[in-house]
Amino acid sequence: MGHSAYSLAVAPGPRFAQLFVVKATPDKTGFCPRCRQDVPTVRPWPHWRKLRYAYFGVLALALFGAPVILADGFILIPTLMIFIAAIGPLNALVAKKPTCAVCGAVVEKLRGLRLVASQKKRDPPQRLRKP
């Protein structure tokens, strides 16, 4: 069983294309509305949401250290402000959706299989008769 993968350059310009290549594995697939077929997908790192929860945990710990943080107004308060401002990019990474490895469009979940009725009319099955 060979391992094949599509690659998609995500950097602008041909010069940087070799530096940043995202590989999509065949086992993670979705339906691309632009390609109108099931395609391999490029998915963001799945643990961004857990990292976001850890971020809020560190922020809660900073609440307990509030007396120390407020005592040092020149270093810790600006550092905490920068830390609080970091939630914006983290929220953006959590909200990223899987994209098509072929064209880069946002993909949908795989479609379910549909049963299609046959066009030919068949004779009803005949019952076996005992002789």
Taking only the tens place, the pLDDT of each residue in 44-92 is: 888 999 999 999 999 999 888 888 888 888 888 888 889 999 999 999 9
For residue 97, give both structure tokens.
């959706």
Q: What is the mean pLDDT of residues 98-126?
A: 72
Report DSSP letters for 25-57, one per residue.
-TTSEEEETTTTEEEEEE---TTHHHHHHHHHH
pLDDT in tens, 8-32: 444 444 444 444 444 444 565 788 8
Model-level pTM?
0.55
- Alpha-helical (H) ranges within the chain are 48-64, 66-71, 76-85, 87-94
> How far is residue 112 from each of residues 30, 31, 78, 102, 119, measured CA to CA in Å?
11, 10, 52, 21, 21
> 30 burial class (0-12, 13-18, 19+ CB within 10 angstroms)?
buried
Token pair 């490029």 in the structure block, residue: 42
Residue 77, pLDDT score: 85
Region of poorest pLDDT, from 37-41, 96-100, 103-107:
37-41
Q: What is the mean pLDDT of residues 82-107?
A: 90
Rounded Cα–Cα distance for residues 74 and 66 (Å): 14
Q: What is the rounded (10 degree) CA torsion for 76, 81, 86, 91? A: 130
Confidence of residue 38 (pLDDT cuts 50, 70, 90): confident
Say if residue 37's pLDDT is above 70: yes
Q: What is the mean pLDDT of residues 100-127?
A: 70
